[in-house]
Amino acid sequence: MSRVAVAAPLAGWLTSVREVPDPVFAEEMMGSGIAIDPVDGTLIAPCDAEILLVAPTQHSVTLRLASGAELLIHVGLETVALEGRGFRAHVRDGDRVSVGDLLISFDMDAVALEAKSLVTPIVLTNAGAFQWSTEPFNRLVRAGETIGWIEGGIDSPAGEPAATGDAVTREAMIRFEHGLHARPAARIADCAKRFSSNVTLRIGDKTASARSPVAVMALNARHGDRVTLSATGADAAASLDALVALLDAGEVVHREPLATKNARALAANEIGGVCALPGTALGTAKHWQRTSNDAPENGDDADTERSALMAAKASVRSRLESVSGEAAGPASEIAQAHLSLLDDEELSAAADGEIARGRSGGRAWQLASEAAAEAFRHSDNPRLRERVADLDDISRQVVAALQGSAANALEFDENTILLADELLPSELLTLPRDRIIGLATSGGGPTSHMAIIAASFGIPTLVAMGPRLADVAEGTRVLLDATTGVLVVDPDEAARARAVAFASASIGGASVTRDGERVRLLANLGGLRDVEAALAAGAEGCGLLRTEFLFLDRSEGPSPDEQRGAYQAIADALEPRPLTIRTLDIGGDKPVPYIRFPDEQNPALGARGVRTHLFDPQLIGEQLRAIAEVDGEGVKVMLPMVSSVGELRAVRERLNALRGGITLGVMVETPAAALLADAFAAEADFLSIGSNDLAQYTLAMDRTNPLLAAAIDALHPAVLRLIAMTVEAGRKAGKPVSLCGSLASEPIGALVLMGLGIRDLSAVPAALPAVRQAIARVSASDCRRMAEQALTMETAAEVRALAADLLNGSGEGDLR
């Protein structure tokens, strides 16, 4: 028996294949194994093997080990539909590869835009003869790191059943849209294994055992091909009946086509792109002109050039450290990443070697940076290209410091829409944020460092717009509608007027419908670091502070003093805006290692939220004491996971003993709380609906289950009826009702909630501009009529279509 180590073929998050959001893989129809959610687009060989099969669309590869074990690596889910777009195979059938050899490279951004998921299953397709063992799951792994072993050998018990009796033959047509790729091949094999007969598929001169998904894929059968099936054995006829029915039925792929992201054909004055941050901006086009970065080829003596280079690097280092210390979020993190490049020992050594050959300090640094980037420069992987951009960025900063030149000498008018081929992070950081209201780049991707910084600044941004962007004349009036992915050149007067209204609605202030009804937009916060972004997005306060940020990712819990200090800092930053502090909601999908939960077969239905006092009364007692000591007029307390009025009364008694007069509300996130909303409204100061948990408990679907996650939709009419019931109970009792779940962060979700009568919505900060724009597009009366109709529907999909029609179908909704 052999034992072969398996290396991670991708860098990313390691999970069991049973957690893949696709039943073919999760139910192990294809075989047992693992899955990796990748962080780069390079697939390498996990072990020494022979290439058995490369998919014609280059999205998957099957390897055969010396022991006979067969490994299928399937990049992403439903990626066969891309027909090879974004993939490049570097091996062919029959090649021999060693561990670490490059198999496939893929463009992560391009694939992610069209595929169901990037998660990549790695499965043992002939598991009957082998055993797969794996290192611990749910962790980040490096490409090439050992993650498990395959044990067994070619003499292990496996194989086809014995052929007995006369052969039975049938013909069928392949109706799978993309032929017999991995998913249908797995279904065919799974179906064949349910019978004792030996079934063979034949197309032309190729044959395959129906029990082998790899052999079935190797037929390279396409949609519309005729296949002959033959079976021998006691249940031959029954097995063929089942397989023919499977082939005739084909496969239903539940995937939104890319075209629906921008279904309307573009007009002659429109340029399409990829949204990096939604929003609308009307302004004047200005092309980015990068300053010259020429460094002299030859230098003075080596010591002088080394000293000059060191001084320039010190100057850049000082500026980056300043950015890292003063900025928040992505800008700080990217500055830290650039500091690591600036201090990279190999880069510095390469530059020193060039200086020794007579180069100037600036040219030496350029050559060293270019050499480091050469391996990535022509890659199809955008993540690697972004690494090149970072190296280029640092190179330009150092050369500019050597030359004493300013990074940017352009003048910017107010309401500038900046157009560029690409924009480096350091360049964006130097631009006047108060004058640039929109960004559009011909290259780049939505996950580039530039796009991330632009998003953190709240600047609507389009990327990957292509060469037509360069044809836009300087000074032209343009409308950047990043929400729908279009730049409109010289829009007409009506479009300009609507754009001004929507853009002004997105940047802050009161959120008002077309017929004058006011909606208060609050922010969901996960700590002090989120406050700046929330206020920049126009949040009118905090509707949900998740206090778990103080308890997670640490070895011991926070003291009451630490808690009080953290809550006070957030209250001070928001003052005089309201702050709603949710008490600790742990357990279920948010375990804390230093808190000993009782053994629970189903933690999602266990001691979550307010129920933690059942096994740890000190925990909730310390948190209530810390909150009670926070100064601020707008501080409120909110209890999660309540299901009985008795829980509310118990906490109210403890709070009153600490400090009287604190506003106390409950989260309605269980069907019990919704059904008892009238009783809660009689005693609570406010009700806040948690749409995420309310949806999972109403639909009886665990939101952490990848097979069900896509089906959990808070716009399901059953969930909406419970929301409507809660709103009505609050109205009758004169108590405010808000919603702080993910549904408030969706523009169409916000319109449905408005129609149901909710006027306080708490969303993630980045979503506030788009939600504010959606509210400005519609009238409250139209929302009410739409919500009434939604309550009578049968599915969430119908509700979504109805709300989308209201948002996009009216004349007021079209910006162009």
pLDDT in tens, 675-697: 999 999 999 999 999 998 899 88
Range in 82-86, 179-183, 565-569 with the lowest mean pLDDT: 179-183
Instruction: Write out pLDDT tens, residues 464-494.
Output: 788 889 899 999 999 998 767 789 999 988 7
588 pLDDT above the threshold of 70: no
Q: How many Å apart are CA 697 and CA 715, to the nearest integer?
A: 14
Helix (H) or strand (E) holding 755: helix 747-755
Task: Flag the least confident range among 220-224, 607-611, 718-722, 735-739.
Answer: 607-611
CA 732 to chain centre: 40
Share of the chain above pLDDT 70, in %: 80
Query: Is the Cβ–Cβ distance between 441 and 420 less than 8 Å?
Result: yes
Identify the band that residue 156 occupies on the pLDDT scale cut at 50, 70 and 90: very low
Q: What is the mean pLDDT of residues 112-127?
A: 81
Q: In the structure encoding, which two tokens stand for residue 753, read together?
A: 């909630």
Alpha helices in 404-530 (DSSP H): 425-430, 449-457, 493-506
* pLDDT confidence bin for 257, thresholds 50/70/90: very low
pTM (two decimals): 0.48
> pLDDT exceeding 90 applies to what percent of the chain?
28
Q: Does the pLDDT value for residue 256 go beyond 50?
A: no
Tell me the mean pLDDT in the region 484-509.
72
Residue range 395-407, pLDDT digits in tens? 878 888 887 755 4
**Between β-strands 579-582 and 635-639, what pairing exists: parallel, antiparallel or unpaired?**
parallel
Topology, domain 2-152: Glucose Permease (Domain IIA) (2.70.70)
How confident is the prediction for the chain on average, in pLDDT?
Answer: 80
* Integer Rg of the chain from CA: 30
Fill in the DSSP letter of residue 685.
Answer: S
Q: Domain spanning 302-403 has what CATH number?
A: 1.10.274.10
Exposed / middle / buried, residue 133 (Cβ in 10 Å: 0-12, 13-18, 19+): exposed
Q: What are the domain boundaries of the chain?
A: 2-152, 168-249, 262-289+409-491, 302-403, 504-813
* pLDDT, position 499: 67
Quickly name the fold that domain 168-249 has. Answer: Histidine-containing Protein; Chain: A; (3.30.1340)
Catalytic residue set: 449, 740
Q: Compare 208 and 784 and report the one with higher pLDDT.
A: 784
Min mean pLDDT across 62-66, 79-83, 378-382 is at 378-382
| Superfamily for domain range 262-289+409-491 | Phosphohistidine domain (3.50.30.10)
pLDDT of residue 196: 81
Quickly state the pLDDT bin for 349 (edges 50, 70, 90): confident
What's the start-to-end Cα distance of the chain, in Å?
A: 68
Between 292 and 515, the more confident residue is 515
- pLDDT tens digits for range 771-795: 888 898 899 999 999 999 999 999 9
What pairing do the DSSP bridges indicate for beta strands 461-463 and 436-441? parallel
For the segment 493-502, the average pLDDT, to the nearest whole number, is 70
| Residue 682, pLDDT score | 96
- Which backbone phi and psi does 619 adopt, to 5 degrees? -60, -55
Q: Which residues fall within 8 angstroms of residue 626, CB to CB, at 6 or more apart?
A: 560, 561, 563, 564, 567
Tens of pLDDT, residues 310-319: 888 888 888 7
3-state SS record for 628-646: HCCCCCCEEEEECCCCCHH
Q: Look up residue 599 and give its DSSP letter.
A: P
Instruction: Quote the pLDDT of residue 589.
Output: 46
Cα 22 from Cα 20, distance rounded (Å):
6
Give the whole-angstrom CA distance, residue 391 versus residue 782: 52
- Which range in 48-57, 199-208, 290-299 is most confidently predicted, on average pLDDT? 48-57
Contacts of 204 (CB under 8 A, 6+ apart): none
> What is the CATH superfamily name and number for domain 504-813?
Phosphoenolpyruvate-binding domains (3.20.20.60)
- DSSP states of 638-670: EE-S--SHHHHHHHHHHHHHH-TT-EEEEEE-S
- Check if the beta carbon of residue 374 is closer than 8 Å to that of residue 393: no
Q: For residue 719, give the nearest of 732, 737, 707, 701 by alpha carbon.
A: 701
CB under 8 Å to 744, separation ≥6 — which residues? Answer: 691, 750, 753, 761, 762, 763, 771
- Do 31 and 86 touch, CB atoms closer than 8 A? no
The winner for highest mean pLDDT among 99-108, 117-126, 295-304, 699-708 is: 99-108
State the DSSP code for 52.
E
Q: How far apart are CA 476 and CA 469, in angstroms?
A: 12
- SS3 assignment for 454-485: HHHHCCCEEECCCHHHHHCCCCCEEEEECCCC
